[in-house]
Chains A and B, each alone.
Chain A
């Protein structure tokens, strides 16, 4: 009996690793995701659901591209730009890719400096990330404008070939662009919180009322890296295929 009461105060039992760790973590009515903050586990779960949304989009794109009898427009030519008198294939998309990867890099570093409680560096890195994200959205707006006004691409057809090209393109990149835009807004919000010192003073958030903590920078980072991750797949499967 005394043993049972004591278990509350003694040192916690070391967690088993590997497959035994999975069974131990998921069993006996307890918290499954150990050593991660609650918010981070929930962000991961959300990202899994988002993966299925983009997965469904990309599979449907594969489906319509395989089943159409019309020739598929060549993305390499459709997305070419003429710079300094040379027609360079896919150059805008390549630049957008590098911008998004760079923003992922600055985001990872913001998370790192956040845990070191370096407010100024975290703030600056978050703002750089947001600026890169905003420029990505700007380039996408330029790309859409060019495609709609100059190339005449519509969701229901285009002069280059299969009608499904337009519908796939606008749905997939539109949904991704929306994710980037939302990410930029949240980056700015997190940056302001960092700069004001909300996270050091554990000030409750205006929406959730939860105490401020540098974990939110990492949770924000997960979302942002996911946006970059989705772009990796879109770049490979839509633009390069």
Chain B
């Protein structure tokens, strides 16, 4: 019976991931606290964010132990958001440019 199988793992793994998430959160807070700027700041923020997200999905949400069919069905579609992000960035750049032109014309 499929229903008899639950996700059963030793408690220790949750405690370890919990600790790891605490460390990563503290690290991302310190990025702000020590005023890192520019590419270093963005790089660190993104790295810590993706590590935390990965740990939560993989262990807390048990994705690590699911079958590949479920993994791909859930994790691949959100990648489409990267396309939306690209389109958004292009559009925002253009809007910024036209606003710049418009406000400059008003000045002179």
Contact A44 B74 (CB under 8 A): yes
> Which among B68, B70, B81, B103 is the interface contact of A36 at CB below 8 angstroms?
B70
Contact B7 A218 (CB under 8 A): yes
Number of contact residues on B: which range applies? 35 or more
Interface: A200 (CB within 8 A):
no
Interface: A34 (CB within 8 A):
yes
> Which among B22, B70, B73, B99 is the interface contact of A98 at CB below 8 angstroms?
B22
Cβ-closest chain A residue relative to B100: A69
With contacts A48-B74, A112-B14 known, is A35 near B2, CB below 8 A?
A: yes
Binds B, one of A20-28, A150-158, A167-175: A20-28
Chain B residues lying within 8 Å of A64, measured Cβ to Cβ, are: 92
Interface SS of chain A? helix
Interface SS of chain B? helix
Looking at A63, A66, A89, A222, the one whose CB has the most chain B CB atoms below 10 A away is A63
Contact B61 A52 (CB under 8 A): no
* Alpha-carbon distance between A90 and B9 when the two chains are bound, in angstroms: 36
Number of contact residues on A: which range applies? 35 or more
> Which among B5, B29, B84 is the interface contact of A97 at CB below 8 angstroms?
B29
> Which among A21, A62, A76, A235 is the interface contact of B89 at CB below 8 angstroms?
A62
Contact B81 A55 (CB under 8 A): yes
Cβ-closest chain A residue relative to B31: A240
With contacts A32-B69, A52-B78, A67-B96 known, is A241 near B42, CB below 8 A?
A: yes
Give me 21 A-to-B residue pairs in the complex whose CB atoms sit less than 8 angstroms apart, sorted by A's number. Answer: A17-B68, A22-B72, A25-B67, A25-B69, A26-B69, A32-B69, A35-B66, A56-B84, A59-B81, A59-B88, A105-B14, A108-B17, A111-B7, A112-B8, A112-B9, A112-B14, A115-B7, A228-B60, A235-B28, A239-B32, A240-B31
Q: Which residues of A contact B (CB under 8 A)?
A: 15, 17-19, 21-22, 25-26, 32-37, 41, 44-45, 47-48, 51-52, 55-56, 59-60, 62-69, 76, 89-90, 94, 97-98, 101-102, 104-105, 107-109, 111-112, 115-116, 213-215, 218, 221-222, 225-226, 228-229, 232-233, 235-237, 239-241
